[in-house]
Structure formats: C-alpha cells, structure tokens
Amino acid sequence: MLTATSKQFRLSGLLLGLLFLFGLAVNAAALDSAQGYIMEVLGNGDLRLEEGLLVKQIPATSVVQGVEPYAGRLLVGMEARITGELDSAAGILEAREVSVLTALEPEAAVEGSAVVEERRQGSDQIVLLADGRRLLISNSIRLSPPDLKNLEALPQLDEIEPGMFVHYRGRLTPDGATRVEELAAWRNHLEEKEKELYEQYQPDMLLPARAGAGPAVLRIDKNRYPVVKNTELQLFADRLGTRLLPAFWRDPEAARRHGYNFWFMVVVHDRPQASAFPSGVVVIHTGLLRLAENEAQLAFVLAHEIAHVTQEHAWREYLYHRRKLLFLRWSTAGLGYAVESAIRRGYRRDLEEQADRLALAYMSRAGYDPREGLKILRRLEQNQEGLSALLWETHPGYGQRRSALMKELTRYSAAGLNYGRLRRDSPEFVSFREKIPTRRIKKASVVD
C-alpha cells in the first residue's frame, strides 16, 4: 500500500525523469548536422565539405563508423555525417561527432578490361597503369587465357607492354592500388573493320570561298562544326589536350598503329560538351569553355573524351551491339547509328565509368586537381546536358558517376596524393574564357 509520502516521491522522480529526457531532447535539437563528401583535410585535422562548409574538430569530437569507433584516417572523397554546433554566419560547424559513411575498403574485389598505358618493372612484381588503377602483378602469376575467341594470348608475362589489352581481377590494397589475382592479356591488333571505322571519322576542313566570308567548317562524317577563328585559343586547346595524353599516345607512330592521331579543335556551339571521334579528333564546344570555372574542370572533360579514344570505346560499342543485336539483323547503317549515338550522347555504363576513372588519372598526372572533375560534373548536372545523355538503359546518371569518382578520390588520398601541389587554373584560360564567341548551330548541322 502506497502512502501519500511515497506517492509524492514517485511523482517527483517521474517528473525529474521527464525533465531530464526533455533536456536531452532540447540539447539534441540544438545540435546541427550536415552530410557530404570531404573535399579537403587541413593540417590541423579540420575538414572542408563539398559545399564549402568548414568542420572544426575539437578534443571532444568522436569519429565513428556505424556504432563502432573509427580508427582510420579521414580522407578526401569520403562521405561523412557531422553533428555539432553551426555558426552559419561564419560557415563553420564545430563537430561533436563525425560519422564515416563511406571509407576505403581494402580487400574489396575489383575487375576490369583496359588498354595498358604504362609498365613498370620491380624486383618481385610488375606494375601496370591501366583502367585508371595501379595493377600490382606478382612475377609468379600465371596468365589466364582471354575469354574471347580468335585472340592471341600472350605466352609470357614479360611480353605485356603499352597498347595491349588486359582483363584483370584483384583486390584493393590499403594504399589504393589493386593486387591482381587473375590476369589475361592479348595483343591489340588493328582489325580491318576497325580501320574502316576510324577512316570514316577522319576530319576534313572546309574553307570559306573567300576571305571574310565566314568561319572554316570542320567536317567529320555527317557532322559540321564552325571553327573558332582565334588561333591562340586553338593552340591552347591543343597544348592542354596533348598534356593530358598518357605517355604512350604522345608518340604519333604508336597512335597511328592503333588507327588514330589526336587532334583538338574548338568549335562554336552553345551546348556545354565535348565529343571524341574514333579517329582521335576531340571537338570542344565554346559552351563548355563558358561553363567550366577553371582550366582543371576543362581538363577533366577533355581527359574523359581522350579516354574514349585510348580505350577504343567506339569499336567496343560497335562489337557490343553487333553481338547483342545480331538476331535483329540490324543493317550496317543501324550499327553505324549506334556508334554515332554513343559518340554524341554517351556510352553504356561500364565504358562511361571507365572514361571518368581514367579522366581523374590523366588530369592528376598532368598536374591538375582531380577534385575539380567532380565540380564540373555537378555543373553539367545542373545544366541538364553535357558529356552524355540518357541513351542506354544502363547509362549512369551524374549522381552515380560522382559517387563512383568520390571512391576513386579516396584511393588517391590513401596513396598520398598531395592536392595542395596541383593546379586548378591559369591566367591563359581566364583570358580566353572572357573572349569566347556565342552562336548556336542549327540542329541539322550536328548529328544528335
């Protein structure tokens, strides 16, 4: 039986408990949170998120992944949720807790097919630069036969060289490399049909009938582009594109053996995009120069297009549709349209993701900050057009592409990439950007 005194005691305890819980709720409500990708790790441990918010870590800041403490390093490219106290005027969030949502996963399985760009020989392993990755291959590994017919397998590991195709399976290492467990390789012969494809997209310059009558027109198959008259801008684009090329493709003879030579040309078109043709011609729209905020962003787009050529994506697209759609008895013109559409609008998911991955590799090797590649993708997404449109069911959207590239940035960070030493802009690009002409090409002039 409860007495009046015991009833009062229990009511008081209940009231105190409610007040305590209310206090916790008020305190939790007072805390702010933000979620985003880490784009900078400062020397004092502070972080800067993608949208520019500065996250200050204090002695009381806890770092967790799920419910467990996170003991690893915080790296550029990781996604995190931050809880703390926000000073919105200063753009600073004082962190109470940093929750890591995506982290580098050593031992994660990776797989891919790519053209080898560079080979480095170590004492106990070979390092191949391919597919935007460092492939670590033990000298004792045995080559697997290619899972394709009519291909000449390499009998010896030491015969692998730039320009050859490899297919690999392996696992990530803590420093972001890939330790290869299975490897197939084959020589990259220029097939007759492939040569015909490259010849079809050889460029031709149509000059005006008389001086001052209008711009020269670049003709590539059915495509027509008015060429920007500014010679200095054209030379700038050529220097930038050449700087982004992997070393193997800077040798004109090596490139010619594969059916193409690179040529970069700026044309007058308002759509912010660039297009690469199998012959090695990369067409850069003036609309892209206006959209890019700096030279590094332009470098990402050009590097993406270069990768479509170095990895022979138009030929691989042709083979893919020829195999997949043969039962429909497509005509040669139909297959040609599939290739043309891929060039103009975007390739299927695996090829687009490979071009993105290689773009980060090409631009960072050339000294450009790869974080700017993520920024130009965001700007293209906001403009609802750009490198690619939704053509194939399996074509990745911008959000998927950015998420995949953030994982690549995490690997670069784990490998020790010093972002502070990489460039973003140049006075030359700023000067050209201010003088870009504006003109919209008639829709019939360009194959869409």
Provide mean pLDDT across the span 5-20: 50
Give the lowest-confidence range in 55-69, 91-105, 310-324, 425-439.
Answer: 310-324
- Can you read off the two tokens belonging to residue 214? 């209008």
Q: How far apart are CA 180 and CA 169, in angstroms?
A: 6
The owner of tokens 């959207």 is 397
Task: Kindly report, residue by residue over 77-131, the tens digit of the pLDDT.
Answer: 999 999 999 999 999 999 999 999 999 988 999 999 999 999 998 888 999 999 9
Strand pairing class (281-285; 274-276): antiparallel
Give pLDDT, residue 261.
Answer: 86
Give the lowest-confidence range in 148-157, 176-185, 399-408, 429-438.
Answer: 148-157
Label residue 441 by pLDDT band (50, 70, 90): very low
Give pLDDT, residue 328.
Answer: 44
The answer to whether the 25-100 and 109-186 domains have the same CATH topology is: yes
Residue ranges of domains in the chain: 25-100, 109-186, 192-445
Helical H segments across 325-348, by residue range: 332-345
Average pLDDT, the chain: 83
Query: Looking at this protein, which amino acid is placed at residue 357?
Result: R
Query: Which residues pair with residue 380 across a beta bridge?
Result: none
What strands lie across the sheet with 178-186, from one edge to the other?
A: 109-115, 165-172, 178-186, 133-138, 125-130, 118-121
Q: How far apart are CA 196 and CA 336, in angstroms?
A: 11
Give the lowest-confidence range in 184-193, 235-244, 408-417.
Answer: 184-193
Label residue 411 by pLDDT band (50, 70, 90): very high
109-186 has which CATH code?
2.40.50.140
Q: Determine the Cα angle at 281 with ends 276 and 282, to 5°.
A: 50
pTM for the full predicted model:
0.85
Q: How far apart are CA 79 and CA 100, in angstroms?
A: 6
Residue 114, SS3 per DSSP = strand
Query: Looking at this protein, which amino acid is placed at residue 168?
Result: Y
Whether pLDDT at 253 is above 90:
no
Q: How far apart are CA 313 and CA 353, in angstroms?
A: 12
Look up the CATH superfamily of 25-100.
Nucleic acid-binding proteins (2.40.50.140)
Strand pairing class (54-65; 92-100): parallel
Q: How far apart are CA 3 and CA 25, in angstroms?
A: 33
- Can you read off the two tokens belonging to residue 323? 């195999």
Backbone angles phi, psi at 230, to 5 degrees: -70, 105
Mapped to the 3 state alphabet, what secondary structure does 240-274 carry? HHHHHCCHHHHCHHHHHHCCCCCEEEEECCCCCCE
Q: Are 61 and 95 in contact (CB under 8 A)?
A: yes
- Select from 397, 355, 350 the least CA-distant residue to 373: 355
Q: How far apart are CA 202 and CA 227, in angstroms?
A: 16
Query: Looking at this protein, which amino acid is placed at residue 246?
Result: P
Residue 442 is given by DSSP the state: P
Q: How far apart are CA 422 and CA 419, in angstroms?
A: 5
Give pLDDT, residue 398.
Answer: 73
Give pLDDT, residue 327.
Answer: 43
Give pLDDT, residue 349.
Answer: 82
Q: In the chain, what is the greatest distance between 2 CA atoms, to the nearest angstrom?
A: 112
